[in-house]
Amino acid sequence: MEKLLHISPSPHIAGEYSVQKIMYGVLLALLPAFAASVYFFGIGAIVVTATAVVSCVAFEYLIQKYLIKGTPTILNGSAALTGVLLAFNVPSNLPILLIVIGSMVAIGIGKMSFGGLGQNPFNPALVGRVFLLISFPVQMTSWPLPMGFQTKYFDAITGATPLALVKEGIKNGQTLSSIENIPSHMNLFYGAMGGSIGEICALALILGFAFMLYRKIITWHIPVFLISTIFAFTGIMHLTNPEKYADPLFHILTGGVMLGAIFMATDMVTSPMTHKGMAIFAIGIGLITVIIRLFGAYPEGISFAILIMNAFVPLLNKWTKPTRFGEEVLNG
């Protein structure tokens, strides 16, 4: 095709964004959290994350090439991102076989069975994580204690997360101030606590949030509304009974709230298209999370909350259509 002119309908220039830039941008934003988790959990963090990324990319390649018989698109970074997010939601001593199974479910069922990129209604990493939680509850709830590089991958010393500590304590009839071993708020902020790989260091996650805002990958609406809702709801409950319900700062710094709000709920494919919709979506997640945390059986509920609200997204898109230009004039 030498020297022939190209013809297409307008527009003839394109902006800066591309799917690749967005995916790799999010991966960059996750780098501080990864660094923090290696600092706290040592080799386990690296093993789990690497396994998850490799498995997810491999499964996507195999499914696209041999099952669907199309062209593999692993280079656009979305499978790698699913792998990293799946890894960030599990303990750092999760056996390799379980990681591979989780990746298979995340990519195969959570993404490919719906038609690939852009077609899935549920967040694939969360689909994988929840599947693992329900199928392998023991391995998925034995959290290694953060001991820096001394933390082993095999036979790591495990302990309860702050949220689990509080839940158990309250269930046994203790008052909040009498429960031992709850880290201070500062420690919670910096990440010196048990938990999944990605959720512990709030500081690192906020750095990632700032980076994504700067690159215009996401807008502020979902994280801000989500965290504010949880803060407000738990704040009200804390005021009614400070010995039964932990303070709101504790709630937003523990568990998967920071990770969920900034990286999981903001996944473009599974979140609403308009800002109004995003606000309702985030408030819904916040409410459901707190209900599960305070009145439900699990100590942490944000994964379930996000998946539940994912199901409402098509409805939210329908209900929160943008105002058409000239509509306000017509309507009065």
Partner 1 sequence: MLKTFKKGGVHPAENKLSAHAPIIKAEIPKTVTIPLGQHIGAPSSPIVTKGETVKVGQIIAKSNGFVSANIHSSVSGVVAKIEDTFDITGFSRPAISITVDGDDWLETIDRTETINSNLDYQPEHIIKRVQESGIVGLGGATFPTHIKLSVPTGKKAEFLIINGVECEPYLTADHRLMMEKGEQVLIGTKLLMAALGVNKAYICIENNKPDAIQHLMQLAKKYQPIQVVPLKVKYPQGGEKQLINAVLKREVPSGGLPIDLGVIVQNVGTAFAVYEAVQKNKPLFERIVTVTGKTVKKPSNFLVRIGTPAIQLVEAAGGIPDDTGKIVAGGPMMGKALNSLDVPITKGASGILLFDRKEGKRLPISPCIRCGKCVSVCPMGLEPYLLMTLSEKQIWDRSEKENTMDCMECGSCMYTCPANRPLLDYIRLSKSTVGQLIRTRKQ
Partner 2 sequence: MSITIIYTILALSLLGLLSAVILYFVAQQFKVIEDPRIDEVEGMLPGANCGGCGYAGCRQLAETMVKSDDMADLNCPVSESSAMVAIANYLGHEASTVEPKIAVVRCNGTFTHRAKTNTYDGASSCAIASALYSGDSGCSYGCLVHGDCVTVCKFGAMYMDPLTGLPVIIEKKCVACGACVKACPKKIIELRNKGKNSRRIYVSCINKDKGGVAKKACSAACIGCGKCVKACPFDAITLENNLAYIDFNKCKLCRKCVMECPTEAIVELNFPARKQVQSETIEPASNAAENSNTSND
Chain residues binding partner 2 by CB under 8 A are: 1, 4-9
Does residue number 214 form part of the binding site for partner 1 (CB under 8 A)? no
- Of residues 268, 291, 311, 315, which one binds partner 1 by CB under 8 A? 268
Dihedral Cα 211, 308, 52, 199, nearest 10 deg: 50
Is residue 110 within 8 Å of residue 128, measured between CB atoms? yes
Stretch that binds partner 1, among 7-15, 91-99, 226-234, 251-259 (CB under 8 A): 7-15
Does residue number 326 form part of the binding site for partner 1 (CB under 8 A)? yes
Q: Which among partner 2, partner 1, none contacts residue 1 (Cβ within 5 to 8 A by kind)?
A: partner 2
**Residue 215: what are its φ and ψ, rounded to 5°?**
-80, 0
In 3D, which of 88, 64, 127, 46 has the Cα closest to residue 311?
127
Q: Which amino acid is at 320?
A: T
Cβ-proximal residues to 223 (8 Å cutoff; 6+ apart), any chain: 209, 261, 262, 265, 266, 282
Between 100 and 139, how does the x/- string for binding to partner 1 read (CB under 8 A)? Answer: ----------------xxxx--------------------
User: Considering the complex, what minimum distance in angstroms separates the CB of residue 78 from partner 2?
Assistant: 23
Per DSSP, what are the bridge partners of residue 158?
Answer: 144
Which structure tokens are listed for 151? 């933390």
- Nearer of residues 6 and 69 to partner 2, judged by Cβ: 6
The gap from C-alpha 137 to its chain's centroid, in whole angstroms, comes to 19
User: Considering the complex, what minimum distance in angstroms separates the CB of residue 270 from partner 2?
Assistant: 26
User: Considering the complex, what minimum distance in angstroms separates the CB of residue 9 from partner 2?
Assistant: 5
With CB under 8 A as the rule, give the number of residues binding partner 1.
40
Does residue number 148 form part of the binding site for partner 1 (CB under 8 A)? no
Is residue 254 within 8 Å of residue 195, measured between CB atoms? yes
Rounded to whole angstroms, the Cα distance separating 94 from 166 reads 23
User: Considering the complex, what minimum distance in angstroms separates the CB of residue 280 from partner 2?
Assistant: 34
Which structure tokens are listed for 105? 């479910």
Q: Which amino acid is at 26?
A: V
Q: Which among partner 1, partner 2, none contacts residue 321 (Cβ within 5 to 8 A by kind)?
A: partner 1
Instruction: Return residues touching partner 1 (CB under 8 A).
Output: 5-15, 17-19, 21-22, 73, 76, 116-119, 268-275, 321-330
